[in-house]
Structure 1
Amino acid sequence: MIETVIPPGLILFLGAFLLPFLTGSVRSIVALVLPLVALYLVWGVPDGPALTMSWFGYELVPVQGDALSRVFGTVFTLTAFAGGLFSLHQPNRFELPAAYAYGGAAVGVVFAGDLLTVFVFWELMALASTVVIWCGGPNAWGASIRYAIIHLLGGVLLMTGIVAYVADTGSIAFTAMEVGSLGTWLILAGFLINVGAPPFSAWLPDSYPQASWSGAVFLSAFTTKTAVYVLLRGFPGTEILIWIGLYMVFYGIVYAILENDMRRILVYSIVNQVGFMVTGIGIGSEMALNGAAAHAFAHIIYKALLLMSAGSVLYATGKSKCTDLGGLFRTMPVTTICGIIGALSISAFPLTSGFISKSMISQSAADAHLAIVWFAIAAASAAAFLYVGLKFPWFVFFQKDSGLRPPDPPANMTVAMWLLSALCIGIGVFPAPLYEILPYPVDYVPYTWSHVVFQLQILLFAGLAFFLLLNMLKTTETITLDFDWFWRGLGKALGREFDWRMLAAWEAVANRTASQARRFVAGVYKHHGPRGVLARTWPTGSMVLWATLLLAAWLLVYYVR
Structure 2
Amino acid sequence: MIDGVIPPAFVLLAGAALIGLTRGHVRTAVLFAAPLAALWAVWQIPDGVVVTAQFLGYEIQPVEGSPVRRLFATIFSLMAATGGLYAFRQAKWYELAAGYAYAASAVGVSFAGDLITLFLYWELMAIFSTVVVWCGGTPEARAAGIRYAIMHLLGGVILKVGIEGVVVHTGSVEVQPLLAANFDTWMILIGILINAAAPPVSAWLADAYPSSSPTGSVFLSAFTTKSAVLALILLFPGEPVLIWVGLYMIFYGIIYALLENDARRILAYSIVNQVGFMVVAVGIGTELAINGAAAHAFAHIVYKALLFMSAGVVIYRTGMTRCSDLGGLFRTMPLTMVCGVIGALAISSFPLTSGFTTKTLISVAAEQQGLATVYFLLAAASAGVFLHAGIKFPWFVFFQKDSGLRPKDAPWNMGAAMVFFAFLCIFLGVYPQPLWALLPYPMEYSAYEPGKVLFYLQLLLFSGLAFFLFLPLMKRTLTISLDMDWFWRVVLFRLGNAVLNLGVALREAMEATVERVQQGPGARLVQLLDSSGALGRTWQIGTTALWIAVLLTVYVFLYYID
How many corresponding residue pairs?
Answer: 558
Q: Displacement, 1:539?
A: 13
Partner of 2:10: 10
Q: Displacement, 1:5?
A: 2.7
Q: Displacement, 1:228?
A: 0.6
Partner of 1:90: 90
Task: State the AA in 1 paired with 2:171.
Answer: G
Q: Tell me, in whole angstroms, the C-alpha distance in 1 between the residues paired with 2:23 and 2:181.
A: 53
Counterpart selection for 2:528 from 526, 529, 545: 526
Partner of 1:255: 256
1:221 partner SS: coil
Matches within 5 A, 1:378-389: 378-389=379-390
Q: Displacement, 1:502?
A: 2.6
- Rate the CA distance shift 1:206–1:546 in 2: closer, same or farther, 3 A: closer
Q: Tell me, in whole angstroms, the C-alpha distance in 1 between the residues paired with 2:237 and 2:102.
A: 26
Q: Kindly indicate whether the alpha-carbon contact (under 8 Å) linking 2:18 and 2:27 is maintained by their aligned counterparts in 1.
A: no
Matches within 5 A, 1:287-436: 287-436=288-437
Task: State the AA in 2 paired with 1:358.
Answer: K
Partner of 2:184: 183
Q: Displacement, 1:62?
A: 0.7
Q: Tell me, in whole angstroms, the C-alpha distance in 1 between the residues paired with 2:419 and 2:20.
A: 28
- Structure 1 gaps of 5+ residues are none
Q: Tell me, in whole angstroms, the C-alpha distance in 1 between the residues paired with 2:549 and 2:486.
A: 80
Post-superposition CA distance 1:124-165 (Å, at most 9, x none): 100000100111112311111110110011011011111111
Q: Tell me, in whole angstroms, the C-alpha distance in 1 between the residues paired with 2:294 and 2:130.
A: 26
- Rate the CA distance shift 1:325–1:176 in 2: closer, same or farther, 3 A: same
Q: Tell me, in whole angstroms, the C-alpha distance in 1 between the residues paired with 2:193 and 2:421.
A: 28
Mapped pair 1:119 → 2:140: no
Mapped pair 1:52 → 2:52: yes
Q: Tell me, in whole angstroms, the C-alpha distance in 2 between the residues paired with 1:412 and 1:360.
A: 34
Task: State the AA in 1 paired with 2:70.
Answer: R
- Rate the CA distance shift 1:526–1:328 in 2: closer, same or farther, 3 A: closer
Q: Tell me, in whole angstroms, the C-alpha distance in 1 between the residues paired with 2:433 and 2:19.
A: 37
Post-superposition CA distance 1:482-528 (Å, at most 9, x none): 11111112221112112111332344456667888999996586389
Q: Tell me, in whole angstroms, the C-alpha distance in 2 between the residues paired with 1:323 and 1:527.
A: 74
Q: Displacement, 1:28?
A: 1.5
Q: Kindly indicate whether the alpha-carbon contact (under 8 Å) linking 2:266 and 2:393 is maintained by their aligned counterparts in 1.
A: yes
CA RMSD of aligned residues (A): 2.9
Partner of 2:168: 167
Task: State the AA in 1 paired with 2:88.
Answer: L
Q: Tell me, in whole angstroms, the C-alpha distance in 2 between the residues paired with 1:262 and 1:330.
A: 19
Partner of 1:109: 109
Q: Tell me, in whole angstroms, the C-alpha distance in 1 between the residues paired with 2:291 and 2:107.
A: 19
Matches within 5 A, 1:446-485: 446-485=447-486
Q: Displacement, 1:25?
A: 2.2
TM-score normalised to structure 2 length:
0.93
Q: Displacement, 1:267?
A: 0.7
Partner of 1:43: 43
Q: Kindly indicate whether the alpha-carbon contact (under 8 Å) linking 2:300 and 2:355 is maintained by their aligned counterparts in 1.
A: yes
Q: Tell me, in whole angstroms, the C-alpha distance in 1 between the residues paired with 2:545 and 2:322.
A: 99
Q: Tell me, in whole angstroms, the C-alpha distance in 1 between the residues paired with 2:504 and 2:266.
A: 43
Q: Kindly indicate whether the alpha-carbon contact (under 8 Å) linking 1:3 and 1:44 is maintained by their aligned counterparts in 2.
A: no
Q: Displacement, 1:304?
A: 0.4
1:14 partner SS: helix
- Rate the CA distance shift 1:329–1:46 in 2: closer, same or farther, 3 A: same
Task: State the AA in 2 paired with 1:286.
Answer: E
Q: Tell me, in whole angstroms, the C-alpha distance in 2 between the residues paired with 1:100 and 1:391.
A: 32
Is 494-503 or 544-553 further displaced after alignment?
544-553
Q: Tell me, in whole angstroms, the C-alpha distance in 2 between the residues paired with 1:259 and 1:554.
A: 82
Q: Displacement, 1:249?
A: 0.3
Q: Tell me, in whole angstroms, the C-alpha distance in 1 between the residues paired with 2:470 and 2:152.
A: 39
Q: Displacement, 1:93?
A: 2.0
Partner of 1:26: 26
1:94 partner SS: helix
Q: Kindly indicate whether the alpha-carbon contact (under 8 Å) linking 1:326 and 1:395 is maintained by their aligned counterparts in 2.
A: yes
- Rate the CA distance shift 1:539–1:304 in 2: closer, same or farther, 3 A: closer
Q: Kindly indicate whether the alpha-carbon contact (under 8 Å) linking 2:289 and 2:365 is maintained by their aligned counterparts in 1.
A: yes
Partner of 2:502: 501
- Rate the CA distance shift 1:335–1:527 in 2: closer, same or farther, 3 A: closer
1:489 partner SS: helix
Task: State the AA in 1 paired with 2:33.
Answer: V
Mapped pair 1:225 → 2:213: no
Task: State the AA in 2 paired with 1:344.
Answer: L
Q: Tell me, in whole angstroms, the C-alpha distance in 1 between the residues paired with 2:539 and 2:410.
A: 100
Partner of 2:209: 208
- Rate the CA distance shift 1:530–1:245 in 2: closer, same or farther, 3 A: closer
Partner of 2:62: 62
Q: Displacement, 1:481?
A: 0.8
Q: Kindly indicate whether the alpha-carbon contact (under 8 Å) linking 1:4 and 1:46 is maintained by their aligned counterparts in 2.
A: no
- Rate the CA distance shift 1:537–1:215 in 2: closer, same or farther, 3 A: closer
Post-superposition CA distance 1:469-490 (Å, at most 9, x none): 1111111111111111111122
Task: State the AA in 1 paired with 2:24.
Answer: G
Q: Tell me, in whole angstroms, the C-alpha distance in 2 between the residues paired with 1:534 and 1:468.
A: 89
Q: Kindly indicate whether the alpha-carbon contact (under 8 Å) linking 1:109 and 1:118 is maintained by their aligned counterparts in 2.
A: yes
Percent sequence identity is 54
